[in-house]
Chains A and B, each alone.
Chain A
Amino acid sequence: MSIDHSPAQKWSGLSDDAVHLDADDLGAYELNRKLHELSRDHAQIVVDNPRARHNLGIGLEADDAEIHFLGSVGYYCGGFNAGANIVVHGNAGWGVGEAMSAGTIVVHGSTAWSAGAGMRGGTIVIHGDGGPRTGIAMKGGEVLVAGSVGFLSGFMAHRGKIVVLNGAADGLGASMYEGVIFVSGSVSSLGADAIERTVDANDTEELSRALGSAGFSWPDDPFRKVEAEGRLWYFDKHDGRIWRSI
C-alpha cells in the first residue's frame, strides 16, 4: 500500500492542538520517555519522521496521550501497550502490539510478522494485510484485519479473536487452544488441529460489533469460524500417527 507523506494536517484524526515530536532528534529511549512526559499535558502527540525505526511507543499506559506515528514504524511498535491508543499512519514491522494488555493500535497500512504476538488484551486494527503469524500465541483481545493474513496466523493462540476479511495463507489456526478466528475469503489451508465450526447468531452479533468498532464494512463472502479440535491437547496413543510427525 502506498503511503501519503503530505503534511500532518491531512492525516485522519489529528487535532490542531496536538503536540509534535520529531523522531529524528531522539533515540529510542528518549523518544519513549518524551512520550510519557508530554502525555501529562497533552491529549494527542504526533510523532514525525518515525522512518520505520524499531521500538517506538513501548510500554505506554492508559493515561498516556493518543499517539500518532506519521509514517511507517519498525519492530515492536506499541509493545507492552497497557492502555494507550496508538495510530500508525503507515506500515508496521514485526511484533506490533506484542504483549499488549489493553488499549488500541490502529495501523493504516500493513503489518509484518507476528502482529499482536502474545497479546493479553486490547485491540489491533490493521487496514492493510497482516503478515505471517498474525496473532501468534495471543492470550486475549482482538486483531481485526481488513486484508489478508500470512501463513501460520493464529499459531498456538490461547484465547482471543482474530477477524480477517480477505483470506488467509497456509496453516491458519495451527495448534490453537481457545483462540477463535473468523475469516472471509479464501483460505489456503487450515493448520494442524484447526477445524471449521458453524458461525452462530452470537458470533454474527460479535462480528458486527467488532467490524463496527474498526470501521470495517461487512465482507461479501461469508465468514468461516476456525477453532481448535483439541486433538493435540492430550497424549493419546491412538493419535500416534499425528504425534509422530508434528
Chain B
Amino acid sequence: MSSDALNAEPAVPPPPMATDMRESPIWDRCTIEDIQTKADLGRYRITGFSLHRTIPRLDDLVFLPAAMTRLPLEGYRENCETRTVLGARHGCAKPLELSVPVYITSMSFGALSWNAKAALGRAASAIGTCTCTGEGGMLAEEREESSLLVYQMTPSRYMLDLEHLRQADALEVAMGQGAKPGTGGLLPGAKVAARVAEMRTLPANIDQRSAVRHPDFLGADDMEVKLEELRIATDNQVPIFVKMPATRVREDVKIAAKVGADVIVIDGMEGATGASPELLLDHTGIPTIGAVAAAREALEEIGLYGEVNLVVSGGIRSGADAAKALALGADAVAIGTSSLIALNCNAPIYEDDYAKLGTAPGFCHHCHTGRCPVGIATQEPELVERLEVEAAAERVENFINAMVMEMTLLAKACGKGDVHGLEPEDLRALTIEAAAMARVPLAGTDWVPGREGRF
C-alpha cells in the first residue's frame, strides 16, 4: 500500500451508526418487555420452572478430597453406604428406609400429567426411594407405582380423609414452598381438567388459587396438637414431614422441631414450580446454600441435629449439588426439576410445539400454559401420550443412579465410607458470598466471614 493511500482522507466518510444501540442497564429489553406485558395482562406474571436471576449457589463450593492428611477410599472398588432412614424420631412403626439419599419431591397431579406421576413413581420404586403426592390429592396410578409414597397435606386438604391418610407411607405437612413462600398454590384453568377438578372438589377449568393458611391451625401451639392428631389417626405407623420455604430458616426450623416434625424439608428460593407469580420466584426466600447451613445450625443449637432429619430441595441438579447439601448438613435431598428434565422436559423433540408457545427446547418454562410439548406438565391426553411411562421411568432411574454414583465418587475421594459422613470441613467456598452463607472457609484461606480466622 502506498504512503499516499495511507495518508489520504477517505473518499467517502463512514456512514453514521444506523441506530444508537446502547442499552440502559435500568430499562433494558427484559424490563421493557416486562412492563409492556403487564400493561396488557393487567396482573402479575405467572410462570413455571424456576427463577430468572443469578444467586449464590452450591456451585460456588468445592470439595477437598484426601491428599496427605486423609486417606481416600478406592473410588471404583470400595463400598460407600447410601442407605438413608428418615423419620425415626418419634418411634413410628415404619420410618422411611430409602436406598439412597435422593427422592422425588412433591409435585401435584394437576401441575404434572398422570403419565409423569406414574413414571416418577415407577422410577423411585426401582431405585428404592420415595416420591411425594404434592398438593392435588393422591392419584391412584401414583399410589400403585410408588412403593413409598409421601402424602402431602396442604392447606387446601384436597382429598384428605382417613382412607387416603392410611394409604400414606409418610405425611408431609406443607407450610409453603421455595417458589412462592407465603402464598398458596396456583393451577391455571387450562390444567384444571375434569379429573384434576374432581380430585380437588373444584368446578372444572377455573384458575385455582389454593389456600396458604391451614384451615384448622394457625400458630405453633395449634400445630403441635395437629401433628399429634395425625400421629393418632395413623396409629403412629408413619413419619411426619414438615415442608417449608427457606425464609427465616433458623427460627422456623426450631419451631418445626418443637411442634414435633420427624423430618424437616427446607426448600430454597431456587425451588421450582408448576406455576407461580413470577415476582415470588425472583424476590422471595433465601438460596439453598444458605438455607442448609442455617437449618443445621438451628438444629444443633437445640440439640436435635441428627434426631430431626433434614431434607433439602431447590436447585439440586447433580450428584455434586446433592453431595454438597449432605456435607452442609442434609440427610437427603429432594429433586423436582432435574427429575422432570430426566423425564424429557426441555428435550429437543416436538420443536414446533415449543415454537407455538413462543419458546424453544432449552428455554421452556411454560408449565403454567398446560401445553407442555413433551407431555409432562399438561392434562391434554394427546400431549400426555407423548410421555411413555416405561421409557421415561427408566431415564429417571438412570439419572438418579448417576447422581448417586457421583455422590459416592466424591465421598470416597474425601475418604468417607458413607455419604452421610461428608461434613462442612470437606468443603471450601469459591466466593465470599458462598463462604458467608455456607459457613465454610474461602478457598485457600481459613476465613469464614463473620468468624475468626486468617484471610
Contacts and interface: CB of A to CB of B under 8 A. Distances in A.
A94 B217 contact: yes
Nearest to A160: B201
Interface string B341-374: 0000000000000000000000000000000000
B157 A118 contact: yes
Interface residues of B, number: 37
Nearest to B186: A235
B190 to A, nearest CB: 11
Q: Which has the most chain A C-beta neighbours within 10 Å: B43, B161, B233?
A: B161
Interface in A74-96: 74-76, 79-82, 94-95
A76 B437 CA distance: 41
Given A101-B162, A233-B206, A79 B229 contact: yes
Q: Is the interface of B mostly helix, strand, loop or mixed?
A: loop
A61 interface: yes
B160 interface: yes
Nearest to B160: A99
Interface string B202-225: 110011010100011100001001
Contacts of A120: 159-161, 201
B129 interface: no
Contacts of A58: 229, 232-233
Contact of A237 (B41, B165, B206, B232): B41
Contacts of A224: none
A99 B43 CA distance: 34
B207 A29 contact: no
A114 B217 CA distance: 9
A28 interface: yes
A245 to B, nearest CB: 13
A190 B294 CA distance: 44
Q: Which has the most chain A C-beta neighbours within 10 Å: B162, B188, B207?
A: B162
Contacts of A230: 203, 206
B203 A233 contact: yes
A118 B211 CA distance: 12
Interface stretch (A8-16, A135-143, A164-172, A202-210): A135-143
Contact of A80 (B43, B202, B233): B233
Given A156-B211, A178-B203, A233-B203, A29 B162 contact: no
A108 interface: no
Nearest to A54: B225
Contacts of A237: 41-43
A134 to B, nearest CB: 11
A234 B186 CA distance: 12
B89 interface: no
B417 interface: no
Given A139-B201, A156-B211, A234-B207, A100 B161 contact: yes
B368 to A, nearest CB: 11
B201 A140 contact: yes
A185 interface: no
A99 B162 CA distance: 8
B344 to A, nearest CB: 29
B93 to A, nearest CB: 13
A136 B216 contact: yes
Contacts of B216: 75-76, 94-95, 98, 113-114, 117-118, 136
B229 to A, nearest CB: 5
A243 B38 CA distance: 14
B163 interface: yes
Contact of B43 (A61, A82, A137, A240): A240
B42 A240 contact: yes
Interface string A143-158: 0000000000001101
B42 A159 contact: no
Nearest to B214: A117
Interface string A63-74: 000000000001
18 contacts: A28-B228, A75-B216, A76-B229, A80-B165, A80-B229, A94-B222, A99-B161, A99-B162, A99-B165, A113-B216, A117-B157, A121-B161, A133-B215, A137-B155, A137-B215, A156-B211, A233-B206, A237-B43
Top 5 A-B pairs, shortest CB-CB distance: A237-B42, A95-B216, A118-B157, A233-B206, A101-B161
